[in-house]
Amino acid sequence: MITDITNNPEIRALPEFENHNGVFLLENKDIGFKGYISIHRKNPTVPSFGATRMWAYKNGIEGLRDSLRLSRMMSYKAALAGLDCGGGKGVIIANPTSPNREELLREYAKNVDLLKGKFITGTDVGLCQRDLAIMKEETPYIVGFNDNSVEFTTLGIYNAIQVSLQKVFSTKDVSKRSFAIQGVGNIGAGLIKLLSDSGCRIIYVSDIIPEKIKMIKEKFPDVKIVDPKEIHKLEVDVFCPCALGGVINEKTIQDLRCKIVAGGANNQLEKESLGTVLFEKHILYAPDYIANAGGLISVFDEYSNKIYNKDTVSAKVMKIKDILNEIFIGSDQNKKATNIIANEIAEKKFNNF
Protein backbone atom coordinates (compact mmCIF):
# COMPACT_ATOMS: atom_id res chain seq x y z
CA MET A 1 0.00 0.00 0.00
CA ILE A 2 1.21 3.50 -0.83
CA THR A 3 0.05 6.53 1.17
CA ASP A 4 0.62 10.19 0.31
CA ILE A 5 1.83 11.81 3.54
CA THR A 6 3.08 15.06 2.00
CA ASN A 7 0.62 17.26 3.89
CA ASN A 8 1.01 15.54 7.26
CA PRO A 9 1.98 18.32 9.72
CA GLU A 10 4.54 16.07 11.41
CA ILE A 11 6.23 15.40 8.07
CA ARG A 12 6.25 19.06 7.09
CA ALA A 13 7.80 19.95 10.47
CA LEU A 14 10.86 17.77 9.86
CA PRO A 15 14.02 19.86 9.26
CA GLU A 16 14.72 17.96 6.01
CA PHE A 17 11.32 18.82 4.51
CA GLU A 18 11.66 21.64 1.97
CA ASN A 19 8.28 22.06 0.33
CA HIS A 20 8.68 18.63 -1.27
CA ASN A 21 6.46 17.83 -4.22
CA GLY A 22 5.51 14.46 -2.73
CA VAL A 23 6.30 12.19 0.21
CA PHE A 24 4.95 8.64 0.21
CA LEU A 25 4.82 5.92 2.84
CA LEU A 26 5.11 2.38 1.45
CA GLU A 27 3.96 -0.40 3.73
CA ASN A 28 2.87 -4.03 3.73
CA LYS A 29 2.70 -5.32 7.28
CA ASP A 30 1.94 -8.86 6.13
CA ILE A 31 5.50 -9.28 4.83
CA GLY A 32 7.23 -6.78 7.12
CA PHE A 33 7.82 -4.25 4.36
CA LYS A 34 8.24 -0.53 4.93
CA GLY A 35 9.80 2.25 2.90
CA TYR A 36 9.51 5.81 1.67
CA ILE A 37 9.72 7.68 -1.61
CA SER A 38 10.38 11.42 -1.46
CA ILE A 39 10.12 13.69 -4.49
CA HIS A 40 11.74 17.06 -3.93
CA ARG A 41 11.03 18.88 -7.19
CA LYS A 42 8.96 17.75 -10.15
CA ASN A 43 9.21 19.06 -13.70
CA PRO A 44 5.63 18.79 -15.07
CA THR A 45 6.84 17.05 -18.23
CA VAL A 46 9.82 15.01 -16.95
CA PRO A 47 9.93 12.38 -14.16
CA SER A 48 11.98 12.96 -11.05
CA PHE A 49 15.07 10.77 -10.73
CA GLY A 50 16.72 9.23 -7.70
CA ALA A 51 18.19 5.86 -6.77
CA THR A 52 16.84 3.54 -4.08
CA ARG A 53 18.76 2.33 -1.07
CA MET A 54 18.06 -0.60 1.25
CA TRP A 55 19.41 -0.01 4.72
CA ALA A 56 18.89 -1.19 8.29
CA TYR A 57 17.75 2.19 9.61
CA LYS A 58 17.26 2.46 13.36
CA ASN A 59 13.63 3.39 12.79
CA GLY A 60 11.19 4.60 10.15
CA ILE A 61 11.75 8.28 10.86
CA GLU A 62 15.48 7.93 10.23
CA GLY A 63 14.74 6.36 6.84
CA LEU A 64 12.18 9.04 5.99
CA ARG A 65 14.58 11.85 6.86
CA ASP A 66 17.26 10.23 4.73
CA SER A 67 14.93 10.08 1.75
CA LEU A 68 13.94 13.74 2.22
CA ARG A 69 17.55 14.87 2.49
CA LEU A 70 18.80 12.83 -0.45
CA SER A 71 15.88 13.74 -2.73
CA ARG A 72 16.72 17.42 -2.17
CA MET A 73 20.33 16.74 -3.07
CA MET A 74 19.23 15.00 -6.27
CA SER A 75 17.36 18.13 -7.40
CA TYR A 76 20.57 20.14 -7.02
CA LYS A 77 22.58 17.46 -8.78
CA ALA A 78 20.22 17.28 -11.74
CA ALA A 79 20.01 21.05 -12.11
CA LEU A 80 23.77 21.58 -12.16
CA ALA A 81 24.28 18.63 -14.50
CA GLY A 82 22.00 20.38 -16.99
CA LEU A 83 19.23 17.77 -16.74
CA ASP A 84 15.53 18.61 -16.91
CA CYS A 85 14.45 16.24 -14.16
CA GLY A 86 13.77 17.00 -10.52
CA GLY A 87 15.15 14.97 -7.64
CA GLY A 88 13.70 12.02 -5.76
CA LYS A 89 14.86 9.23 -3.46
CA GLY A 90 13.57 5.86 -2.37
CA VAL A 91 14.47 3.92 0.77
CA ILE A 92 13.62 0.41 1.87
CA ILE A 93 13.90 0.00 5.62
CA ALA A 94 15.49 -3.42 5.87
CA ASN A 95 18.80 -5.15 6.22
CA PRO A 96 20.27 -5.81 2.74
CA THR A 97 20.89 -9.42 3.87
CA SER A 98 17.22 -9.97 4.73
CA PRO A 99 16.07 -13.54 3.97
CA ASN A 100 12.97 -12.21 2.16
CA ARG A 101 14.99 -9.71 0.13
CA GLU A 102 13.38 -10.53 -3.23
CA GLU A 103 9.89 -10.26 -1.77
CA LEU A 104 10.73 -6.81 -0.38
CA LEU A 105 12.17 -5.66 -3.70
CA ARG A 106 9.09 -6.79 -5.60
CA GLU A 107 6.79 -5.06 -3.14
CA TYR A 108 8.81 -1.87 -3.40
CA ALA A 109 8.75 -1.97 -7.21
CA LYS A 110 4.97 -2.42 -7.21
CA ASN A 111 4.71 0.79 -5.19
CA VAL A 112 7.00 2.61 -7.62
CA ASP A 113 4.67 1.49 -10.39
CA LEU A 114 1.69 3.03 -8.61
CA LEU A 115 3.31 6.46 -9.06
CA LYS A 116 2.88 5.93 -12.82
CA GLY A 117 6.20 7.32 -13.96
CA LYS A 118 6.39 10.27 -11.61
CA PHE A 119 9.55 8.72 -10.11
CA ILE A 120 12.34 6.84 -11.94
CA THR A 121 14.80 4.85 -9.84
CA GLY A 122 17.84 2.58 -9.85
CA THR A 123 20.36 1.16 -7.37
CA ASP A 124 22.05 2.82 -4.43
CA VAL A 125 23.54 1.55 -1.16
CA GLY A 126 22.29 -1.93 -0.29
CA LEU A 127 21.12 -2.80 -3.81
CA CYS A 128 23.05 -4.32 -6.69
CA GLN A 129 22.77 -4.78 -10.43
CA ARG A 130 20.85 -8.05 -10.30
CA ASP A 131 18.18 -6.39 -8.12
CA LEU A 132 17.25 -4.23 -11.10
CA ALA A 133 16.03 -7.22 -13.08
CA ILE A 134 13.78 -8.29 -10.20
CA MET A 135 12.26 -4.82 -9.85
CA LYS A 136 11.91 -4.42 -13.61
CA GLU A 137 9.52 -7.39 -13.64
CA GLU A 138 7.11 -5.31 -11.54
CA THR A 139 7.51 -1.85 -13.09
CA PRO A 140 9.04 -0.23 -16.18
CA TYR A 141 10.27 2.77 -14.18
CA ILE A 142 13.69 1.28 -13.43
CA VAL A 143 17.02 2.39 -14.94
CA GLY A 144 20.65 1.36 -14.67
CA PHE A 145 20.82 -1.54 -17.11
CA ASN A 146 23.74 -0.14 -19.09
CA ASP A 147 25.77 -1.03 -15.99
CA ASN A 148 28.07 1.96 -16.38
CA SER A 149 26.93 4.40 -13.69
CA VAL A 150 29.95 3.60 -11.52
CA GLU A 151 32.31 4.21 -14.42
CA PHE A 152 30.76 7.58 -15.19
CA THR A 153 30.53 8.56 -11.53
CA THR A 154 34.24 7.98 -11.04
CA LEU A 155 35.01 9.78 -14.31
CA GLY A 156 33.10 12.80 -13.04
CA ILE A 157 34.93 12.76 -9.71
CA TYR A 158 38.26 12.49 -11.50
CA ASN A 159 37.36 15.51 -13.64
CA ALA A 160 36.31 17.43 -10.52
CA ILE A 161 39.67 16.63 -8.95
CA GLN A 162 41.54 17.86 -12.01
CA VAL A 163 39.64 21.16 -12.07
CA SER A 164 40.29 21.61 -8.37
CA LEU A 165 43.99 20.89 -8.77
CA GLN A 166 44.18 23.42 -11.58
CA LYS A 167 42.58 26.02 -9.32
CA VAL A 168 44.86 25.38 -6.34
CA PHE A 169 48.15 24.29 -7.93
CA SER A 170 47.83 25.71 -11.47
CA THR A 171 48.13 22.22 -12.95
CA LYS A 172 45.67 19.36 -13.33
CA ASP A 173 48.41 16.70 -13.19
CA VAL A 174 47.54 14.16 -10.47
CA SER A 175 50.80 12.21 -10.64
CA LYS A 176 52.69 14.29 -8.08
CA ARG A 177 49.79 14.87 -5.72
CA SER A 178 48.73 12.99 -2.60
CA PHE A 179 45.25 11.61 -1.94
CA ALA A 180 43.33 10.25 1.03
CA ILE A 181 40.36 8.14 -0.10
CA GLN A 182 37.75 7.37 2.52
CA GLY A 183 35.76 4.32 1.45
CA VAL A 184 36.91 1.81 -1.15
CA GLY A 185 33.63 0.45 -2.48
CA ASN A 186 32.87 0.62 -6.19
CA ILE A 187 33.36 4.39 -6.41
CA GLY A 188 36.45 4.59 -4.23
CA ALA A 189 38.05 1.63 -5.99
CA GLY A 190 37.27 3.12 -9.40
CA LEU A 191 38.85 6.39 -8.39
CA ILE A 192 41.99 4.62 -7.17
CA LYS A 193 42.31 2.95 -10.56
CA LEU A 194 41.97 6.23 -12.47
CA LEU A 195 44.54 7.91 -10.22
CA SER A 196 46.94 4.98 -10.44
CA ASP A 197 46.61 4.78 -14.21
CA SER A 198 47.52 8.49 -14.32
CA GLY A 199 50.75 7.89 -12.43
CA CYS A 200 49.72 8.81 -8.90
CA ARG A 201 51.63 6.82 -6.27
CA ILE A 202 50.71 8.61 -3.04
CA ILE A 203 47.31 7.20 -2.17
CA TYR A 204 46.08 6.55 1.37
CA VAL A 205 42.90 4.50 1.80
CA SER A 206 40.52 3.44 4.54
CA ASP A 207 37.32 1.46 4.91
CA ILE A 208 35.35 0.03 7.81
CA ILE A 209 35.10 -3.33 6.00
CA PRO A 210 38.42 -5.25 6.21
CA GLU A 211 37.59 -7.44 3.19
CA LYS A 212 37.39 -4.38 0.94
CA ILE A 213 40.76 -3.13 2.15
CA LYS A 214 42.27 -6.55 1.48
CA MET A 215 40.95 -6.57 -2.08
CA ILE A 216 42.23 -3.05 -2.77
CA LYS A 217 45.66 -3.88 -1.42
CA GLU A 218 45.84 -6.92 -3.68
CA LYS A 219 44.89 -4.85 -6.75
CA PHE A 220 46.95 -1.80 -5.84
CA PRO A 221 49.93 -2.86 -3.70
CA ASP A 222 51.28 0.70 -3.45
CA VAL A 223 48.31 2.12 -1.54
CA LYS A 224 48.84 2.90 2.14
CA ILE A 225 46.25 1.61 4.60
CA VAL A 226 45.01 4.04 7.25
CA ASP A 227 42.68 3.67 10.23
CA PRO A 228 39.18 4.89 9.19
CA LYS A 229 39.20 7.27 12.16
CA GLU A 230 42.42 8.91 10.96
CA ILE A 231 42.01 9.16 7.18
CA HIS A 232 40.53 12.68 7.21
CA LYS A 233 43.37 13.98 9.39
CA LEU A 234 46.15 13.29 6.92
CA GLU A 235 48.19 16.11 5.44
CA VAL A 236 47.43 15.47 1.78
CA ASP A 237 46.58 17.52 -1.27
CA VAL A 238 43.12 15.99 -1.78
CA PHE A 239 40.72 14.35 0.67
CA CYS A 240 38.19 12.18 -1.19
CA PRO A 241 35.14 11.12 0.87
CA CYS A 242 33.67 8.12 -0.95
CA ALA A 243 31.67 6.46 1.83
CA LEU A 244 28.42 7.63 3.47
CA GLY A 245 27.47 11.26 4.11
CA GLY A 246 28.09 13.68 6.94
CA VAL A 247 31.82 12.99 7.15
CA ILE A 248 32.64 16.69 7.36
CA ASN A 249 31.09 17.81 10.62
CA GLU A 250 31.83 20.20 13.47
CA LYS A 251 34.46 17.83 14.86
CA THR A 252 36.20 16.45 11.77
CA ILE A 253 36.46 19.79 10.00
CA GLN A 254 38.90 20.96 12.63
CA ASP A 255 41.19 18.02 11.80
CA LEU A 256 41.39 18.58 8.04
CA ARG A 257 44.87 19.32 6.69
CA CYS A 258 44.12 18.93 3.00
CA LYS A 259 44.02 21.59 0.30
CA ILE A 260 41.00 20.17 -1.57
CA VAL A 261 37.89 18.13 -0.71
CA ALA A 262 36.53 16.28 -3.75
CA GLY A 263 34.88 12.88 -3.52
CA GLY A 264 31.94 10.67 -4.37
CA ALA A 265 29.95 10.51 -1.12
CA ASN A 266 26.58 12.24 -1.03
CA ASN A 267 25.90 15.00 1.52
CA GLN A 268 29.52 15.24 2.66
CA LEU A 269 28.78 18.38 4.68
CA GLU A 270 26.76 17.59 7.79
CA LYS A 271 25.28 21.09 7.41
CA GLU A 272 25.59 23.78 4.76
CA SER A 273 27.36 26.28 7.03
CA LEU A 274 30.42 24.03 7.08
CA GLY A 275 31.05 25.01 3.47
CA THR A 276 31.81 28.50 4.73
CA VAL A 277 34.17 27.07 7.34
CA LEU A 278 36.07 25.26 4.58
CA PHE A 279 36.14 28.49 2.56
CA GLU A 280 37.60 30.40 5.52
CA LYS A 281 40.18 27.65 6.07
CA HIS A 282 41.21 28.03 2.40
CA ILE A 283 40.22 24.45 1.63
CA LEU A 284 38.67 24.21 -1.83
CA TYR A 285 35.46 22.20 -1.79
CA ALA A 286 34.08 20.64 -4.97
CA PRO A 287 30.38 20.29 -4.04
CA ASP A 288 29.63 16.58 -3.94
CA TYR A 289 26.44 16.71 -5.94
CA ILE A 290 28.41 18.11 -8.88
CA ALA A 291 31.48 15.91 -8.54
CA ASN A 292 29.46 12.67 -8.39
CA ALA A 293 26.82 13.58 -11.00
CA GLY A 294 28.20 11.18 -13.63
CA GLY A 295 25.98 8.32 -12.54
CA LEU A 296 22.81 10.40 -12.77
CA ILE A 297 23.88 11.73 -16.17
CA SER A 298 24.30 8.17 -17.45
CA VAL A 299 20.93 6.84 -16.22
CA PHE A 300 19.07 9.93 -17.43
CA ASP A 301 20.61 9.33 -20.85
CA GLU A 302 19.50 5.70 -20.67
CA TYR A 303 15.94 6.83 -19.96
CA SER A 304 15.95 9.55 -22.64
CA ASN A 305 17.62 7.67 -25.51
CA LYS A 306 16.79 4.24 -26.88
CA ILE A 307 20.29 3.82 -28.32
CA TYR A 308 23.22 3.97 -25.93
CA ASN A 309 26.26 5.93 -27.04
CA LYS A 310 29.14 5.90 -24.57
CA ASP A 311 30.92 8.82 -26.22
CA THR A 312 27.82 10.99 -25.91
CA VAL A 313 27.48 10.25 -22.21
CA SER A 314 31.20 10.78 -21.62
CA ALA A 315 30.97 14.20 -23.27
CA LYS A 316 28.14 15.17 -20.94
CA VAL A 317 30.11 14.00 -17.90
CA MET A 318 33.14 15.99 -19.02
CA LYS A 319 31.03 19.15 -18.71
CA ILE A 320 31.35 18.76 -14.94
CA LYS A 321 34.64 20.62 -15.40
CA ASP A 322 32.85 23.62 -16.90
CA ILE A 323 30.24 23.70 -14.13
CA LEU A 324 32.89 23.60 -11.40
CA ASN A 325 34.93 26.31 -13.07
CA GLU A 326 31.85 28.54 -13.10
CA ILE A 327 31.30 27.85 -9.40
CA PHE A 328 34.92 28.47 -8.44
CA ILE A 329 34.91 31.78 -10.32
CA GLY A 330 31.65 32.77 -8.64
CA SER A 331 33.08 31.86 -5.25
CA ASP A 332 36.12 34.08 -5.81
CA GLN A 333 34.11 37.00 -7.16
CA ASN A 334 31.43 36.94 -4.47
CA LYS A 335 33.63 35.85 -1.56
CA LYS A 336 31.23 33.01 -0.80
CA ALA A 337 31.70 29.30 -0.21
CA THR A 338 31.51 27.08 -3.28
CA ASN A 339 28.47 25.18 -1.98
CA ILE A 340 26.55 28.43 -1.55
CA ILE A 341 27.30 29.50 -5.13
CA ALA A 342 26.38 26.04 -6.41
CA ASN A 343 23.09 26.09 -4.49
CA GLU A 344 22.17 29.50 -5.87
CA ILE A 345 22.76 28.40 -9.46
CA ALA A 346 20.77 25.17 -9.01
CA GLU A 347 17.84 26.80 -7.23
CA LYS A 348 17.33 29.29 -10.04
CA LYS A 349 16.71 26.36 -12.34
CA PHE A 350 14.60 23.85 -10.42
CA ASN A 351 12.46 26.41 -8.59
CA ASN A 352 11.19 27.47 -12.01
CA PHE A 353 9.68 24.06 -12.76
- Would you name the residues annotated as active-site residues? 89
Distance in angstroms (rounded) separating the CA atoms of residues 51 and 312: 22
* C-alpha distances out from residue 287 to 97, 99, 333, 335, 341, Å: 32, 38, 17, 16, 10
Which H or E run contains 316?
helix 310-318
In terms of DSSP H, where are the helices of 220-293? 273-280, 288-291
Strands 88-93 and 33-39: what pairing? antiparallel
- Identify each DSSP E strand in the chain by its residue range: 2-4, 22-28, 33-39, 48-49, 52-55, 88-93, 119-120, 178-182, 202-206, 224-225, 238-241, 260-261, 284-285
**Quick check: 78 and 70 in contact, CB under 8 A?**
no
User: Which residues are within 8 A (CB) of 251 and not within 5 positions of it... i.e. 6 or more apart?
Assistant: none
186 burial type by CB count under 10 A (0-12 exposed, 13-18 middle, 19+ buried): middle
Distance in angstroms (rounded) separating the CA atoms of residues 327 and 332: 9
Angle, in degrees to the nearest 10, between helices 310-318 and 294-304: 140
**Quick check: 202 and 238 in contact, CB under 8 A?**
no
Closest CA to 37 of 85, 10, 74: 74
Strands 202-206 and 224-225: what pairing? parallel
